[in-house]
Structure 1
């Protein structure tokens, strides 16, 4: 049984990665329904939280059906991060997660996210202050290092564990790599197999099929896997991995009707959480992913992304289910 502090996650948990503009409550709801064991909010700016910025505060919304769930925060100032952890804890999550892995320029160039990989002492000090500031378990998500010459993750993991984090998720790339090239899990395995380490170690990067999930579990020995991009438009991946690990059987992919139904649920949750206008707008980024591989989908996609009428969007989804033939393609 894998545990983060006293939070039981099962024998081999599958985690939904925190993804900006993706891992909101509507998306998390469909992922939870399809087998995600632990989820995180989108990353939240510490400065936004302590300034009470509306967009940041809204990201604190969590619901009981999502549990266990962590709130993830990022920032460059230690005191701001400490205060943000206190604010986040008041929202009632099961844990607080710190983002030391985001590689995008508008985060890293401000000294947050993966930028902390260039200043490990500051990363450790920041983490220590957050651990002291809350009674909740604190976890960390990070990368192997800033670049090929700074892959200090084995030592960094020890130092973070020593000051009290309860789990560590590692993306198998450096910041310089961004999302290019193949993720290197060998250093993730080195962290996991370090006899000094006793907290759960979760691997992240390139897991896009049940077969690869099982291969990487067996090869690298991690305690669980965090899945990000492969779940976008395909929340079924969590249950597919679980089924394959349990039985060795590859489940058939979702039918077109199942894709339409989950997309419809996602849209409904989006309207409920964000309101009509924003719910319609922010759902537009998901349609292509739900119906990837669908022949002649472009005209219907245009209807979905251009419509501002809720019933018309539902009707278009019905039209997809009724009139289109879906040819299953490899993800």
Structure 2
């Protein structure tokens, strides 16, 4: 797949997720075969005002390319200026724009999925960014704001006409958040309407479901969000299935234990032990979902405050609980 002049070798991407797709998790996903990475979303206004916490969200490793930094905002001039600033200073391959976040504090500020209600503003944002930014600018949208406003094909057409390089479509409305079934028919309608690359997102949880989405919608690639939490192996699973038709075995308990330790170690190296271990607790819960005594393990993990203690808990889990 080509997005502008950026080549994507494997059409399986990691969707941006706040609090999840930080540098450590992106590196794990890349190792597992993910072809395209997107950072957590970053506020354009926060960059403008030199917010230090925002800078951390844009740290990238050289091994991550191709990678996009995702921006959110609603002021066309600020979005354009900050995309230029990011392109020149951070040097990602692509700037992605969030037009799908359903969180009230984002929507109530006229940002994220609120933009689905304002095609004119979308046109202004895309036009301003495409003119100013020297690298490809892409957009992540939803099917619409609610059932009365299913307008993803129209928004995608505006994006293409105004210079956007690709669009990712989450097959749910803002009103749905993450509930219900993703509407792949709207993703197909978007693909039929535009000639730029289209990522499909929603209800892809395996190799077969990824292939089914590609076949039913005609989209160019699949973007994996919640199904990747605690499961970086999904990228290897999908990549293998699409290339060979083989369904690889699920990770063993030992592999899960090894990955938890690797993830925790990377988080502590990147964010420091105090923050890293506390952030690892939610990942631990995702990794252990479905494992025997998972509730007990999560409770234990929620009291862990050091990397050594996390490793000790994992080894206890390996020997006593899942052996």
Query: What TM-score, normalized by structure 2, do the two folds share?
Result: 0.96
Q: For residue 31 of structure 1, what is the aligned residue in structure 2?
A: 29
1:163: Cα distance to partner?
1.3
1:218: Cα distance to partner?
1.2
RMSD (CA atoms): 1.3
How many angstroms apart in 2 are the aligned matches of 1:88 and 1:284? Answer: 31
How many angstroms apart in 2 are the aligned matches of 1:191 and 1:171? Answer: 11
Q: For residue 310 of structure 1, what is the aligned residue in structure 2?
A: 307
1:213: Cα distance to partner?
1.0
How many angstroms apart in 2 are the aligned matches of 1:117 and 1:160? Answer: 12
How many angstroms apart in 1 are the aligned matches of 2:256 and 2:27? Answer: 15
Q: For residue 208 of structure 2, what is the aligned residue in structure 1?
A: 211
Q: How is 1:13-28 mapped onto 2 (pairs within 5 angstroms)? A: 13-28=11-26
Query: What TM-score, normalized by structure 1, do the two folds share?
Result: 0.94
CA contact (8 A) 2:265 2:307 kept: no
Q: How is 1:1-331 mapped onto 2 (pairs within 5 angstroms)? A: 2-10=1-9, 13-89=11-87, 90-194=89-193, 197-325=194-322
Structure 2: gaps of 5 or more residues: none
1:247: Cα distance to partner?
2.5
1:62-108 Cα offsets, whole Å, 9 max, x none, are 11111110000001222222232123212110100000011110111
CA contact (8 A) 2:2 2:8 kept: yes
How many angstroms apart in 2 are the aligned matches of 1:298 and 1:247? Answer: 37
CA contact (8 A) 1:35 1:239 kept: yes
1:214: Cα distance to partner?
1.2
1:293-319 Cα offsets, whole Å, 9 max, x none, are 111233333332212122111111122
1:322: Cα distance to partner?
2.1
1:167-190 Cα offsets, whole Å, 9 max, x none, are 110011111121121111112112
How many angstroms apart in 2 are the aligned matches of 1:273 and 1:217? Answer: 36
Q: For residue 329 of structure 1, what is the aligned residue in structure 2?
A: none
CA contact (8 A) 2:274 2:306 kept: no
How many angstroms apart in 2 are the aligned matches of 1:175 and 1:301? Answer: 31
CA contact (8 A) 2:122 2:158 kept: no
How many angstroms apart in 2 are the aligned matches of 1:301 and 1:148? Answer: 37
Structure 1: gaps of 5 or more residues: 327-331
1:134: Cα distance to partner?
1.3
How many angstroms apart in 2 are the aligned matches of 1:42 and 1:70? Answer: 10
1:159: Cα distance to partner?
1.6
- Report the secondary structure of 1:306's partner residue: coil
Q: Which moved more, 1:76-85 or 1:16-25?
A: 76-85
Aligned residues: 322
CA contact (8 A) 1:154 1:190 kept: yes
